[in-house]
Structures are given as structure tokens and as C-alpha cells.
Amino acid sequence: MRGPHNIWRLIRTGATLERTGAMGVVLEAFEAPKPLRILARTLVWPFRWIGIKGDPNMPPVVRALTALGPAYIKFGQVLSTRPDVVGSEMATQLRVLQDRLPPFSVAEAKAAIESELGVAPDEIFSEFSEPVAAASIAQVHKAKLADTGEVVAVKVLRPGIERAFRKDVDAFYFAADFIEFVAPFSRRLRPHDVIEHFDGVVTGELDLRLESASASEFASNTVNDAGFQVPTIKWDHSARRVMTMSWAEGAAMGDNDALRAAGHDLHALGARVLQLFLSHALRDGYFHADMHQGNLKVAANGDIIAYDFGIMGHIDEYTRRVYAEILFGFIQRDYKRVAEVHFEAGYVPADQDVDEFARALRAVGEPIFGMDATQISMGRLLNYLFEVTERFGMETRTELILLQRTMVVVEGVARSLDPSVNIWDVAKPVVGDYIRDSVGPKALARDLWKTAQVLSRFGPRLPGLVESALIKQISEEPEPRRRIWPIVASSMVLGAGLGIGAVYLAVTLL
């Protein structure tokens, strides 16, 4: 319930950060101004005693986030891929949140499997290991199928995770609504919609049947991608709280020493991670939206193996084209075109000045070129971008939240492999290929063909639709003759347009 009782949850969050020693570390990592640090510590300190103590053997920030629950752990997972924002030491500490959290017992896991599948686990698996990875929402066991001897991974949701996550998300909703109420200027960023989007994503992650379907679709889309693998789902042994898939054997993406020892080229791996993500997002409009090191392995042959498909992103074809044009404009340093695309897509209000917006974008983009990634402070860059969006009245695009967030995560993964990887240089060939295929005569021909196919399905109904529109116009208009011709003319233009489109399509294809 999103009531005032959530104030207690939020106060306890601050108190936990203070009690575990994480408050000072977080403020220092984000280079908060000294007055803000003093104010934050002063306000929270009286409530310190109500904070959750956590595990004193853990580093302060990991200790606090683990104590606070799964939603906070998810936030920590994102930060673990951003050493340029939180520092390399904290980023290393936060990687513990990805797949090395305290596990629950094998007995509880087997009980969940039997409850979900209706069969004793010993009848399905001839071997069943202790947890090999434990994350915020589920843990994974290595097992062997009794009937085939195949080695598989069995993912099982944590007991009571649904209720625990609901508590956190309800507190986030309360905080978002409170911020919108006391700070009306924040409504431009639509904090409530952002939390609602996050809620929907994680709710889907709590149903492993949906994750199984996502993995299956993702595997189908990427089957021909060189250097990339997706495990196969075992549908007979999967359900809402249990998912079984083929075992992914390889070195962890976050273990650079092991990757070097295996002879892998870390720079090439970093570039491939970025290019694969962009290819999936632009080509398919369906991408892995949780691509941190804990969800990636590198096979002996150098293939990147992705798993954990609880969070997947989807963007429609029009949005993909807009996103690609914006990226390509930055790569080409054509800031005027980037600005125009923002206006054409409705991302910036029409009453703003396109030339002024282009100059603001130039101030964002120019520092990137001529530098390697180690010279760029992504923290300062993101702060400046926020100032630009606020200045020009841009609203938060909830449909792009996962895309933007994953872009940051994937870049962080690439830079953890090789700090010199530059996202713009790596992105150029992928985005350029997409632009050539999706913007131009061939793309127009495909669009016209799709439009003709849609209209053909409504062909038998078109005369009736036109007749209904005419009758409605005649009945509502005092002088019907004067107003009927625009509708007739529109119908003629539509017919002519379809004819021209068909001719153009035929010429293009032939």
C-alpha cells in the first residue's frame, strides 16, 4: 500500500546508509558538495539507531544495499559497472551484488522445484549442486538431467521475494509522488512513470515463465550472430518459480585475469559487447537489458554467452530509427541534424530554438572526440546532459529508460575489460549499417509495402468506412456540399498515393 507508512521505510533507508558507514562513502563517491554532505549527515544522524545493521564483514555500501533488499541491490548492480562514476574500488566491491549474495538452502530450492513441477527433484536430476550463484531475486544450481545426462542450470526464485520486492517498490512510488507534489518542476522527469516502468520490468522478472519465453525469442533473433551464444531452455522442467536451461561453460566476464590466462583479447571482447548490444537494439528492437558482468561468460572459443533474461528491452521500429539517427549524428558530429531529429520525434517542445539546442548538443559531444574513454568523466557528462534537458523542457521518455540504462551498463562492462574502448568509435559501423538499411529508398519501399499490406486487409471495409464518414459529415454539416469535397479529395489523394507507392515499389525492387 502506497501510504504514509512508507515514510518509515525511506527514513530507515537513510538511517541504514548512515549506520553501516555507507552514507559518507556514497557522498564522497559522487563528489557531493560539502554543504550537501553536512546537511545529509545532519538530517539522518538522529535516526541512525533505527538503521539495519547488516553484515559487518561486508564493505559499507554493499552491506547497506544488501540489508535494504532486492530493489536496492538492483541499483547497486548498475553502479558496479560504472567505475568512472563511483570509483574503481567501490565498483569492484559492488560486483559482489551481481551473483555472490548469501544463498538459501538446497532443501528450500528442492521444495520450490517439487511445488512448481509436481515431481520430486531427485526424479528429474541425477545430480544437484549447492548454489553456484546467488543474486537479488534468484539463485542458480548446477544439475544433471537423469534421462539424458545433460548438464543444466536450474534457476529458482528466492522464498518470499515477491513480497519483499513489493515493499521496496511501494516505498519508491511514495517517494516519487511526494517529490512531484513538493517539487512541481520535477514532473518534467515523470518520476512516477519511471518507477511504474521499473515496477513492470521487475514484476516480469519474478515470473520465470516469462524469462524462459524471452530467452527463447532472444535465441531465435541472434542465432546467426557470430561470437554470441544463448543457452537453450528446457521447457519440460521450467515453471513460474523454476527455470532450467543448458549449462553455459566459460570464464566470467568480470574476471579479467582468467580471461587473459585463457588467451582472450580483452579489447576485442569489450568492442564486441558494445556492438552486439547495438545490433540487437537497432536490428531486432529486442535486447538483453541487464548485461552486467554477472550475466555474461566467455566460452573457450571466445564466444560471449549471455544468460539471465529477466529484464529484456523492446523498442518499436520508428523509435529505433530516431535513436540511430541521434547516435549517427553524434558520431558524424552533425549536431544540427541531431537537434532536428529531437524536434521531429517530439522529444523537445516545438517552441524551443533548434539552433540553440544544436549548440547545446555540440557542447556535450565535442569533448568526446579526440579522447580515449579514460579521459571522459561520464559523471560530469551525464550531469551536463541533465542540465540541457531541463533547459529545453525535455520530458523523460519511459520507453527509452531500459535502452539508456543498458547503454550505460554495457559501456561500463566494455571499459572494465579495456578502459581505452571508446563507445563512439565502436558504435560507428553498427549504426552506419543500420542507417543505410533503414533510412533511404529501400526503407521507403519496405514501408510502402507494409502499408499496402495493412490496407489490403481492410480492403473490403474501405467503401463502408468512406460511406460512414461521408454520412456523418453530411448529417453534422449545415452546408454539406461545401464540406463534402475535402473528404472526396482525401480519398482520391489516398488512392493516388497508393498507386504511386506501388509503382515506386515495383521499380525499386526490379
Catalytic residue list: 290
Q: What is the DSSP code string of 58-126?
A: S-HHHHHHHHH-HHHHHHHHHHTT-HHHH-HHHHHHHTHHHHBSPPPPHHHHHHHHHHHHSS-HHHHEE
E strand or H helix at 417 = helix 401-417
**What number of other Cβ atoms are within 10 A of residue 379's Cβ?**
15
Helices and strands: H and E segment counts in the chain: 24, 10
DSSP string, 206-225: T-HHHHHHHHHHHHHHTTT-
Sequence-distant (6+) residues with CB within 8 A of 19 are: 48, 49, 51, 52, 53, 54
Instruction: List residues bridging with 288 in a β-sheet.
Output: 312
CB 292 within 8 A of CB 80: yes
Euclidean distance between CA atoms 349 and 357, whole angstroms? 11
CA distance 174 to 268: 44
Residue 152: DSSP 8-state:
E
Do 271 and 421 touch, CB atoms closer than 8 A?
A: yes
Question: Are the beta carbons of 372 and 420 closer than 8 angstroms?
Answer: yes
Is there a contact between 65 and 119 (Cβ–Cβ < 8 Å)?
no
**What is the DSSP-derived secondary structure letter of residue 155?**
E
Which residues, in sequence order, are CB contacts of 11 under 8 Å at separation 6+?
47, 50
- 62 exposure class (CB count in 10 Å sphere: 0-12, 13-18, 19+): buried
Give, in order, the Cα–Cα distances in Å from 25 to each of 33, 68, 329, 369: 13, 17, 38, 32
Rounded Cα–Cα distance for residues 423 and 415 (Å)? 9
Residue 149 exposed, middle or buried by CB count within 10 Å (0-12, 13-18, 19+): exposed
Q: Tell me how far apart the alpha carbons of residues 246 and 231 are, in angstroms, rounded to a whole number.
A: 5
Length of the chain counted residue by residue: 510
228-229, strands of its sheet edge to edge:
228-229, 304-306, 296-298, 251-252
What is residue 420's three-state secondary structure? coil
Q: Is the Cα torsion angle 30, 36, 38, 39 positive or negative in sign?
A: negative
Residue pair 289/402 in contact (Cβ under 8 Å)? The answer is yes
